[in-house]
Structure 1
């Protein structure tokens, strides 16, 4: 059965005591340059520095609400979901083990440990996924996947729910796509609150499994670890639950690596806050979409997180893009 707005609202009630109501920012200068009104839902100011905490907290709270409190929680992630589940487990005093690939951001690994979870590193994402599946078979253990879970999706959808409740109707919502949880939740919230609003997904061209899946009509899996700045979009494949929602999107863009660095630099400069390349890339999709519009548009962009380690920061700033002004 399809999830509906009431499911997002229930998730919002569950998570409110444990998360922040994040701000909506805008840049007058950027709006002047582009000639449209662009608003940013800034989940980089969220607990753990990313939207993922919404799904993690909602899922654990939902389990307890339904008298299914686990003895142990496990999860698999290359980054923000790891922190999210570790944080959620800590709030409810449940032990957690997080399985992560070796290439995960060191900042995110340390933060996950800092929330009290045990971290198990593996050589590849595929090995990580196998290990978490094995761990989940133990009695009393509950596996919270990073995106392919209805309560995770409902939690993630509360970000756009909050934003649309505050902003009112917008012409389009843009969000990045990793496994599709944020986009799925954003779609459900948007359809419920503002049915005429377009919902558009964005993915790195170098990690375009979702775009390939949509083109071919079946879930496609990446053949290896993608070379992309967007560590939050390095999932090997979307899930069977999220894929059904991705099919209902109004548009989908694939963005080249240069623009990930370009917009990370510019949004950091314009909004004066730390932003991950995974969500900064959405602005290139916004720019391309706006070029096709004949009237002034009101756009919501989900800034999904702000956790960037030193190595990624160096790659982002290897070339100075602030000499190239944004424009249509």
Structure 2
């Protein structure tokens, strides 16, 4: 197994910069004053397709074409943003794409995937979608791009933090959501290469904590059922063998309860004036858990992963008002 390197991320950055956006870094003075620390947010919710996944998808498709391996068809499995990313990236190179998605995926993400020209096959469960994509990948001249367990996908995702740390220096810690581990793996490689003293943390829902369990038991643990979490971007059933090797090098992983995901979804939307998925906002609770252990002022970078939210999720986020409780450590 070959792990991703900083050189892979640098190459990916050059490969995709004509396709993706260099997203802004934003902050809230009010939030910084309340918490007593400097928090910066890499706004990948403003990326192409509304999520960081455009980076990994575009890098992998571009890599195939660059190496003379342009397939007749691309297939992928995803519950949302990776589906859109592969549909969009495939369209850039006029390659037909078929995406296998669980039927419980966000309706906004299903419609968006179709709008980029991909064929969408809805499956009753994530496991069925995974089985169908494996069968489809066996067809001649077909290439399967998985949502996280692929070196080029990881390298592409790592370009977000590569950009961020070249813009903001002397960061004490970086935080990113962890589903299958592709973003956190790329974030870890970019951070270790550019700023070795900076700590790297993953964040996942307590209700979908397979990565944390895997690290505790030092073996990949699989969720027994579809996780009940509002953070639909991290509903993967297990991390991959490649991402797990990267995750072992993290400084830690924080688990977040659903009420805190809702709390930070409301507050970050309010403070940053950005449209954010619960998965994006979730990391902020991990930030607070870490800051409570710190005795000096810290500078933190957070990846805001996406902004694709359907009506049902919005209603769940705003069912009760959390803005009466001001963020404090």
Relative to the length of structure 1, the TM-score reads 0.99
How far 1:201 moved relative to its partner?
A: 0.5
**Distance in 1 separating the partners of 2:131 and 2:289:** 39
Output aligned runs, 1:289-304, within 5 Å.
Answer: 289-304=290-305
1:28 aligns with 2:29: yes
1:220 aligns with 2:221: yes
How far 1:319 moved relative to its partner?
A: 0.8
Secondary structure of 1:94's partner? coil
Output aligned runs, 1:1-328, within 5 Å.
Answer: 1-328=2-329
- Structure 2 residue ranges without an equivalent (≥5): none
How far 1:271 moved relative to its partner?
A: 0.1
Is contact 2:37-2:298 (8 Å) kept? yes
How far 1:288 moved relative to its partner?
A: 1.2
| RMSD between superposed Cα atoms in Å | 0.5
**Distance in 2 separating the partners of 1:69 and 1:4:** 24
**Distance in 1 separating the partners of 2:259 and 2:4:** 36
String of CA shifts for 1:262-316, please: whole Å, max 9, x gaps.
Answer: 0000000000011111120111110111111011100000000010100010000
How far 1:2 moved relative to its partner?
A: 2.8
- Superposition misfits of 4+ residues, deviation over 3 angstroms: none
How far 1:133 moved relative to its partner?
A: 0.2
Secondary structure of 1:281's partner? helix
**Distance in 1 separating the partners of 2:56 and 2:323:** 35
Is contact 2:102-2:126 (8 Å) kept? yes
**Distance in 1 separating the partners of 2:3 and 2:273:** 38
How far 1:3 moved relative to its partner?
A: 1.9
**Distance in 2 separating the partners of 1:158 and 1:312:** 28
String of CA shifts for 1:62-94, please: whole Å, max 9, x gaps.
Answer: 011111111100000000000000000000000
**Distance in 1 separating the partners of 2:47 and 2:164:** 14
Secondary structure of 2:309's partner? coil
- Structure 1 residue ranges without an equivalent (≥5): none
Is contact 2:4-2:154 (8 Å) kept? no
**Distance in 2 separating the partners of 1:50 and 1:30:** 23
